Structure 1
Amino acid sequence: MRPARTLAALAAAALSLSACGSGGPSGDGGTTLTITANAISGGKNAATADWTKNWLIPRFEEAQKAQGKIVHVLFQPNGVDDEQYKTKIALDLKSHAGADVIDLDGIWVGEFAQAGYIKPLDQTAGPEAGQWEGWSQIPPAVQSLGVFDGKKYGLPQGTDGRVLFYNKTLFAKAGLPASWQPKSWQEILDAGAALKKAGVPVPLQINAGTAMGEATAMQGALPLLVGTGSEIFSGGKWTGASQAVKDVLGFYRQVYTTGLGDPRLQQEAKGRDKSFQEFADGKIGVLAEGDYFWRSVVEPKAGVAPMPDRDKAVGYALIPSRRPGAGVRGQDFVSMSGGAVRVLNPNSPNAKLAWQLLSFMHSAEATKAGLAGEARITSRTDVNEEVLASDPMLGFVSEKVLPITSYRPGLAVYPQVSVALQEATADIVSGKSVEEAAASYERKLEGLVGGAANIAR
C-alpha cells in the first residue's frame, strides 16, 4: 500500500536516529510512562512542553499516588521540523519502541493506521476508551480528527475553523447588512457585486492558486467542495473531475473572471500576506480564512496586520453550502478544520495505565491548564464555553463551526492531491475553462492515486 511504503521509506532514511524505549518498571517498584511531542521549552511549541513538565506530570503522578500507585512520567521533547518529527515517530513505531503517549498531526492518522503503526483505542486501551467521559464534550465532527475508517485512533487536541470575514464599514457603504449570513454561494456573489458597485477594490478574496499553498485548499477549495455534498476522499476513492469539483471551479471562475476578486493576489509569492494587509486597510470586502486571522492577523495590538477597531469593524459568518441542505451530511453550512491528536503506542507494555495518562491529559482540568490563560479553541465544549466567553468570535467558532466542520484525509498522498487541486484553481484564475481545469486535475490525480480505479467522478 502506498502509505505504508511511504512511512517505511521515511523510517529507513532515519536509521541513524535512536528509538526511545517504552515505559517499564522503575527502581522503586513503580512504573514509568513516557510522553513525546514536537515541543521543547524555549523553542518550538514551548507552551506545550512547559505545561507537560510543570503541570501535567506532577498532577498525574500525584493522582496516581493517591490511588496507591507509584508512577513516574518522563517527557521526551523535540524541537524539529514537522517532517523530521514524523520520520522519528515512524521509526520508533516501526521498531516497536517509542513513547507510550505520542503527539501526531491529525493529517498523519490515516497514514500511520494503514502502515499498522497505530491501532484503534479500543484495541490498545480496551473498553475503557469507549467509556471515557470526555467523548460527550467533543462534537462528533471534532472527534473525526482522530478517526480513520470509522475507528477512533486518538484524542483530538485544539482545533480551528474556517469562516467568512467581512468588513462592516465596506458593507455599510454597499448597503449590505452589518449582520450578514449568506445562505448560498449565489448570496456571496451577490454581496461581491454590491461591493464592486460601491467601489470596493477587491470585493471577494477566496484563496486560489499554488502560491497560496495549502491555504488555497483549506480556506477555499475544500470548504467549497464539502459545500457541494462531496469530499476530496470518500468511500476509499479520491474525487476526480466530478460535477462537484466542476461546481467549485465554476465558483472560482465567477469570482475571478468578473472582477469580484483580484487574480494577481493569487499569483504573487506573498499574495496571502498582502491580502491580510489589504483587508486591514479596508480594500477587501470578504475574505475566507481560519480563526487564526482573528487571533493573530487583525488582532488590535500584536497582529500581523493589526486593526485597532477590529471588534467593531470585522464581522464573521458561516460558510454556506452551495445551496441550503446541499453540504456534506445535508448541512446548510460547512467548514474545514485542522489540529493535532494524541495516540497510544500499541507496543506499550503498560497500555491501560498509558490510557489513564492520555485521558487525564484531555480532561477538562488539564485542557484548561494547557491554555495558560490564553483564549484558544480546544476540542472540549465545556472548556470552550468557559474560556472563550470573553471572545465572541472564538466562541462563535466553538459553538457554531466545530459541530459542522470537516477534516482532510490523513493519507500520505493527500499533500500531492492538494497541489493538483491548487493547480486547478490556478488554471481558472489564469483564464482556462472549467472543463479544461477539471480534466487536467483528473489526469494528475490518476498518476498520484494509482489510476482511474481509485477515482470517483
Structure 2
Amino acid sequence: MGGIARRTALTAAVLGGGSAALAGCGSPLDPRGGEGSDGEVALTVATNAVSGGKNADEADWIKKWVIPRFVRQQRAKGVDVRAEFVPSGVDDEQYKTKLALDLKAHAGPDIMSLDGIWVGEFAQAEYIKPLRAVVGPGAARWEGWRQISAKVRSLARFEGQLYGIPAGTDARVLYFHKPLFRRAGLPEDWQPRSWQDILDAARRLKRLPGVTPLQINAGTAMGEATTMQGVLPLLAGAGGQVSKGDRWYGDTPQLRAVLKFYRDIYAHGLGDPRLQQEAKGRDKSFEKFAGGKLGILAEGDYFWRDVISPKTGTSPMKRRDNDVGYALFPARARGEGLAGRDYVSLSGGAVHVLNPHTRHPQQAFELLGALHSAAALRARLGDSAMITERDDVNDVVLDKDPMLRFCADKAMPVTTFRPGLAAYPEISLALQEATAQVVAGKNPDHTAAAYRKELQEVLGGNDRLIS
C-alpha cells in the first residue's frame, strides 16, 4: 500500500501545475466581477451545474429564480446589480482545480460551491477566508443562522471559523429490498442491532439464486463513496474516528474491526468483489438493487431521491415506496458506537463560499444569503423533498417523504461529519486503498499496519499521528 506518490488537484494548483488537465473543461469561470456598465455592481455565482446537464435543476433554479429576484430586491434598494450564473458540468476534480487556479490568480466567481471536504484544503492554501474576514461583523447577523444547527454549520467550519453557508446535508442508512427479504424469510421491518445481524441477514439472502446479498462500498474505484458509505460509518459504529483535532488515528482496534468486517463480507461470498474494482461498480450496484438482484445496500439518501425515484431516478423503481426498506447503521454491538451510541450515520454536503477578492463583499454576501433563504429553498424543491440546511424548511418539506423524515429524525441525531482538514482527501484515499487490499484477500491486521505507514508518508512523519 505504501510508497504511492499522490498529488490532489488542489495541490497541483498550489504548485503551479494542473492547467493541462483543464483542456476541454467546459465553460471557464467568469473572472470579471467588479463593475458592470454605468457603474452597476457585477456579481457571478459558480457551481458545478449546467442547464440540460449535470445538476440541471440547480443551474435552472439559480438562473431563473434566485438571480432575478435578487436583482429586483437590490434595485428596489437603489443598488444597480447585474448577477450571472457561471455554469460548469465537469468531473468534480476538474471543477475543483479550476476554482483553485482562479483563486490563486485572485480571479474567479464572487460566490462558489465547494464540497465540504474541500474547505480545509482551500483555507489552508489561503484561497478562501472566513466569512467575517471578507464581509465584516455583518456576516454574523444574517437571519438564516438561527435556522441552521451547529452540527450542520460544522460543514463550513475549519479551525473554528465559518467559511461559508452549508448547502444542505444528508445521511447514510442501510437500504434493503423487501421482496428479497420476504423470499429469504427476513422481516420487512428489519433493523439490525449489530454488525452480526447484518451478516446473518446476508447469509440468508445468499441462499437466493442470482442475488448478491450485501454491498458495502470498497476500493479506490468507488472513490469517496467508499469512505462515506462504508469506512467512516463503520468506524463510528466501532467507536472510532479518523481524526481528533488536527491529528489522525492510524492502526487502531476500531479500524482493524472495520477491515475485518469487510473481510467477513467479501471473503465469504456475501458481497461481489468485482463491483469494487470496476469504474462503474457503484452504478452497477444501483442497477442490481433496482432490479431485485441485490439485497442490502449502504448508501446516502441521494440513492432514494435521485437514483431509485420512480419518476426521475437513473435506476427508477416504480414500487419504490412499497419495495424498499431502510434502517439505521447499527454499532458493532449495542452501546459500542461513537459516544456509546447504538446506531450511527455519516453526513456531508456542499458549502457556498465567497471569493476573498470580490470587489463587492456586501452585495456578494447578500446574494449568498438569498441562495439560502427559506423562500429560495422551497422554490427549488417544489413538490420534491430533501434535507436542507434550514430547520424551518425541513419542518415543512420533509413531511412529504417518510424516508427523508426518517433520516432527519433518526439518522441526523446520531450522525458524524468528515473532518474539515486539508489532509483529509489523501487520507480518505489511503482508507479506500486499505479496503481494496482486504477485498483482494490481504490480512486486515497487516493492512491496518500498512495504513499507518501510509499516514506517515501523507503527514510527513509521526507528529500528527495519534496511534
TM-score by length of structure 2 reads 0.86
Query: Equivalent residue of 2:248, what SS?
Result: strand
Separation in structure 1 between the aligned mates of residue 116 and residue 42 of structure 2, nearest angstrom: 27
**Alignment map for 1:58-77 (pairs within 5 Å):** 58-77=68-87
Paired residue for 1:20?
31
Alpha-carbon shift at residue 217 of structure 1 (Å)? 1.7
Alpha-carbon shift at residue 453 of structure 1 (Å)? 2.6
Separation in structure 2 between the aligned mates of residue 31 and residue 275 of structure 1, nearest angstrom: 48
1:162 maps to a residue whose letter is: R
Paired residue for 2:359?
349
Query: Equivalent residue of 2:410, what SS?
Result: helix
Separation in structure 1 between the aligned mates of residue 211 and residue 15 of structure 2, nearest angstrom: 49
Asked if the contact 1:124–1:346 (Cα under 8 Å) also holds between the matched residues in 2, the reply is yes
Distance change >3 Å, CA 41–CA 426, structure 1 → 2: closer
Separation in structure 2 between the aligned mates of residue 242 and residue 49 of structure 1, nearest angstrom: 43
Asked if the contact 2:177–2:294 (Cα under 8 Å) also holds between the matched residues in 1, the reply is yes
Paired residue for 1:221?
231
Asked if the contact 1:381–1:398 (Cα under 8 Å) also holds between the matched residues in 2, the reply is no
1:172 maps to a residue whose letter is: R
Q: Which moved more, 1:408-417 or 1:55-64?
A: 408-417
Alpha-carbon shift at residue 357 of structure 1 (Å)? 1.6
**Alignment map for 1:317-332 (pairs within 5 Å):** 317-332=327-342
Paired residue for 1:83?
93
Separation in structure 2 between the aligned mates of residue 214 and residue 358 of structure 1, nearest angstrom: 27
Mapped pair 1:285 → 2:276: no
Aligned length: 455
Paired residue for 2:249?
239
Distance change >3 Å, CA 46–CA 382, structure 1 → 2: same
2:331 maps to a residue whose letter is: S
Distance change >3 Å, CA 369–CA 210, structure 1 → 2: same
Paired residue for 2:3?
none
Asked if the contact 1:206–1:220 (Cα under 8 Å) also holds between the matched residues in 2, the reply is yes
Separation in structure 2 between the aligned mates of residue 326 and residue 319 of structure 1, nearest angstrom: 12
Paired residue for 1:429?
439
User: 1:95-131: CA deviations, max 9, x gaps?
Assistant: 3333322222222111010011111112222233223
Paired residue for 2:143?
133
Alpha-carbon shift at residue 172 of structure 1 (Å)? 3.4
Query: Equivalent residue of 1:389, what SS?
Result: helix
Distance change >3 Å, CA 167–CA 46, structure 1 → 2: closer
1:306 maps to a residue whose letter is: P
Paired residue for 1:51?
61
**Alignment map for 1:177-196 (pairs within 5 Å):** 177-196=187-206
Alpha-carbon shift at residue 315 of structure 1 (Å)? 0.4
**Which of residues 271, 282, 285 in structure 2 aligns to 1:272?**
282
Asked if the contact 2:194–2:333 (Cα under 8 Å) also holds between the matched residues in 1, the reply is yes
Separation in structure 1 between the aligned mates of residue 290 and residue 336 of structure 2, nearest angstrom: 33
Q: State, as a whole percentage, how many aligned pairs show the same letter.
A: 56
Paired residue for 2:466?
456
**Which of residues 379, 400, 403 in structure 2 aligns to 1:393?**
403
Separation in structure 1 between the aligned mates of residue 41 and residue 280 of structure 2, nearest angstrom: 51
Asked if the contact 1:376–1:388 (Cα under 8 Å) also holds between the matched residues in 2, the reply is yes
Separation in structure 1 between the aligned mates of residue 143 and residue 338 of structure 2, nearest angstrom: 28
Alpha-carbon shift at residue 304 of structure 1 (Å)? 3.9
Separation in structure 1 between the aligned mates of residue 60 and residue 433 of structure 2, nearest angstrom: 41
Separation in structure 1 between the aligned mates of residue 85 and residue 223 of structure 2, nearest angstrom: 34
Query: Equivalent residue of 1:388, what SS?
Result: helix
Asked if the contact 2:169–2:350 (Cα under 8 Å) also holds between the matched residues in 1, the reply is yes
Query: Equivalent residue of 1:315, what SS?
Result: strand
Paired residue for 2:176?
166
Distance change >3 Å, CA 190–CA 156, structure 1 → 2: same
Asked if the contact 1:11–1:94 (Cα under 8 Å) also holds between the matched residues in 2, the reply is no
Asked if the contact 1:142–1:402 (Cα under 8 Å) also holds between the matched residues in 2, the reply is no
Separation in structure 1 between the aligned mates of residue 34 and residue 339 of structure 2, nearest angstrom: 42
1:443 maps to a residue whose letter is: K
Query: Equivalent residue of 1:159, what SS?
Result: coil
Paired residue for 2:392?
382
TM-score by length of structure 1 reads 0.88
Separation in structure 2 between the aligned mates of residue 168 and residue 387 of structure 1, nearest angstrom: 26
Q: Which moved more, 1:148-157 or 1:429-438?
A: 429-438
User: 1:337-373: CA deviations, max 9, x gaps?
Assistant: 3322111122223222322221121010111223354
2:67 maps to a residue whose letter is: I
Alpha-carbon shift at residue 302 of structure 1 (Å)? 5.0
Alpha-carbon shift at residue 412 of structure 1 (Å)? 5.2
Asked if the contact 2:263–2:439 (Cα under 8 Å) also holds between the matched residues in 1, the reply is yes
For the aligned residues, what is the CA RMSD?
Answer: 3.0
Asked if the contact 1:140–1:403 (Cα under 8 Å) also holds between the matched residues in 2, the reply is no
Distance change >3 Å, CA 301–CA 22, structure 1 → 2: closer
Asked if the contact 2:177–2:324 (Cα under 8 Å) also holds between the matched residues in 1, the reply is yes
Unaligned runs of 5+ in 1: none
Distance change >3 Å, CA 358–CA 426, structure 1 → 2: same
